[in-house]
Amino acid sequence: MNFFHRQAQARSSSQRLVWLFVLAVLGIVAVIDLAVYAAMSMKLATSQHPGEGVGMTGALTVTTLLVLATIGIASLVRISQLRSGGWEVALDMGGVQVTADTTDPALRRLRNVVEEIAIASGMPMPDVFVMEKEDGINAFAAGYGPDDAAIAVTRGALRSLNRDELQGVIAHEFSHVLNGDMRLNIRLMGILFGILMLSVIGRKMLTHMRHGSDSRGVLPVMAAGMALLIVGSIGLFFGRLIKAGVSRSREQLADASAVQFTRQTSGLAGALKKIAGVPAGSRLEHAKTEEVSHMLFGEGLGFSSWFATHPPILERIRSLEPSFDAQGLEHLRQRYLREPPSGVNEDLALGFAPDGTRVSSSASLPDARSHLSVSGDVVAAQVGTPARDDFERAGAITLALDDDLRDLARQRGSASGVILALLIDRDRELAARQFEEITRCIDADTAKAVRELSPRIAALHPMLRLPLAELAFPQLRRRPRPELMAFLECCRALIRSDNKVGLFEYCLERLLRRQVIEALDPSRYKPNGRRKLIEVKSQVALLFAVIARYGHDAEREAQRAYAAGFSRVFPRSTLAYAPPEDFVAELDEALPKLDTLDPLSKGLLIEGLTTAIGHDGCIAVAEAELLRTVCAVLHCPVPVMMER
């Protein structure tokens, strides 16, 4: 199952969630109405006024409306609270952000692993959190999509897992991001909160009235609270059933995807074995586990059978290592009782630095003037599915990036300067005008810092420019909106300072809008549309014409490339090759419409896109950047280097 089929499956899961929610609400309403009906019937049986039956109808109507309003409003309020995305969920769970300047080796190792997987998968760098108070081995990913994703790991996981095992866990969480599970999970959090609201109200009433001094006033309130708590248990039953039904299949898919990412089972299997072997397991003692148990890497509550949000731990291990049995599990428990696992010591034995840094990588960056060999179906298969060699290339990029530049990109105060320096032209006269523009838009100190930084940025290998920029994006997302808008306006001014827009400049500005601006209000974005390719035929033709024109020097070759790509998508149809004069404005209008395609149509579009850009049998670095940018705008992440 590839990325596009997984996205389609996520949509199906969302539709199933809606129906389960409707059934749960109807079940709760039916039980409460039945209780009201029974109480009213008893009253009517002793009443001398048969006309009071009208009162029963009114009581049932009012009860139904009150229950629906309570559940609906609670769900909407909770979803509204979470509209900031992954950052809000991680903080709500007690997470502490892992900053770029941390000196804790375990936290530096965590950031290094997350950055490596982000580069390998072509995804934006997520915010990283640690749950300091949790000794169990667990993790979760939260957010509406890749642009606002947050990944949190427990301190117990950092202490117990070696780098390969941590990579397996993080790859599992990244797969939730790529498979479209996170938006579903946040909606599930909001819906479950609404279903559980009656139980929450009852529990609060009992807690606040337990120590009341006026027993005559307190007892009725406590009785009402107990009734709500009992009725709310029905919501709890349905809530756990919904979580189990939606979550288990997604967890199995995430395990399979993590193995597909890393191309080895030992890391993920080792993490699962340690969960099964250590006394703390994967339990969370301090977080709001009931609300988020469906989002966790391992069971957070320890339920089994119907209510389990994850397959049994032994079953998950056996899916990776079929020969593993219950006796092996008991040996692990005895071993870890005698000697708790130490991930850092295991890393040293595996040849990693204490902070998990790779000493070397077998992959290397291609020459800046070299061309990469690609094919449409291979690139489409790579979308959202990084392979082992993609991780090796990510390691090569990490090693090739200057440590000082990487640290500057990670710091909030200097991240914007890194982006601005990437836009400085090599022509001295033009660069001087750009520095003046920075002074006008921001301030003189920023212009001075960019002036000092620009020679080092100019010396970068072309393939390192966008990865460096993407390391800075998380820091930009934390800036106040007015400050961020002023920065973006400055970027536009630098790009247009020579009255033309180059491919790299277009790519960088488009990624800024896609991965930074969109993340400011992540709940508004709808990840999958329903349009078919035939509905956006003219936009497809425009995109292919731009790709063909800027990927080929000769006009005849560009026309052939366009025809090859277009026929891949529309085998029985043609449109004339007509590249626009102003490709920026035309693409800005076409890409949002193409982003509303259904997942399977996007897959075919990317096959055709790669066919056009690689019609001459190879793809230059600049073309690769454009291809990755277009794929990013279409929310189809592609690894940095795509040769095979």
Which residues belong to the active site?
Answer: 173
C-alpha R_g of the chain: 28
Which residue type, as a one-letter code, is found at position 427?
D
Q: State the Cα–Cα distance between residues 174 and 63, nearest whole angstrom.
A: 44
**Structure-token pair, residue 224:** 């009402």
Angle (CA) 380-246-196 rounded to 5° is: 140
Q: State the Cα–Cα distance between residues 13 and 16, nearest whole angstrom.
A: 5
Which residue type, as a one-letter code, is found at position 435?
F
CA 597 to mean position of chain CA atoms: 20
Q: Is 617 exposed, middle or buried (0-12, 13-18, 19+ CB in 10 A)?
A: exposed
Q: Is 179 exposed, middle or buried (0-12, 13-18, 19+ CB in 10 A)?
A: buried
The dihedrals phi and psi of 211, each to the nearest 5 degrees, come to -105, 20
CA 252 to mean position of chain CA atoms: 18
SS3 percent helix, strand, coil of the chain, rounded to 5, is: 70, 5, 25
CA 535 to mean position of chain CA atoms: 29
- Counting Cα atoms < 13 Å in the Cβ hemisphere of 330 gives 3
- Counting Cα atoms < 13 Å in the Cβ hemisphere of 532 gives 2
Q: State the Cα–Cα distance between residues 619 and 625, nearest whole angstrom.
A: 10
Asked if 34 and 415 touch (Cβ cutoff 8 Å), the reply is no
Instruction: Give exposure, 359-368, as e/b (b: 16+ Cβ within 10 Å).
Output: eebebebbee
